[in-house]
Amino acid sequence: MDTQSILTIGAPFLVFGAVFLTLLVVWDKRFPKDEG
């Protein structure tokens, strides 16, 4: 498997991960969890 294939397969996962983390942070700030 060459670099082109790795990028083609990996890019969507990276984008999904970034969007997921962003949503997680925004959700956490909008609805803070009650701890303690």
Number of domains in the chain: 1
User: Has residue 1 been placed in a domain?
Assistant: yes
**How far apart are the C-alpha atoms of 8 and 16, rounded to whole Å?**
13
User: Has residue 35 been placed in a domain?
Assistant: no
Q: What is the residue range of 3's domain?
A: 1-30
User: Has residue 36 been placed in a domain?
Assistant: no
Confidence of residue 33 (pLDDT cuts 50, 70, 90): confident
**How far apart are the C-alpha atoms of 31 and 8, rounded to whole Å?**
35
Q: Nearest to residue 11, comparing CAs of 19, 25, 26, 21?
A: 19
What pTM did the predictor assign? 0.57
**How far apart are the C-alpha atoms of 23 and 20, rounded to whole Å?**
5
> Whole-number mean pLDDT of the chain?
88
Helix residue ranges, H only, the chain:
3-30
User: Has residue 21 been placed in a domain?
Assistant: yes
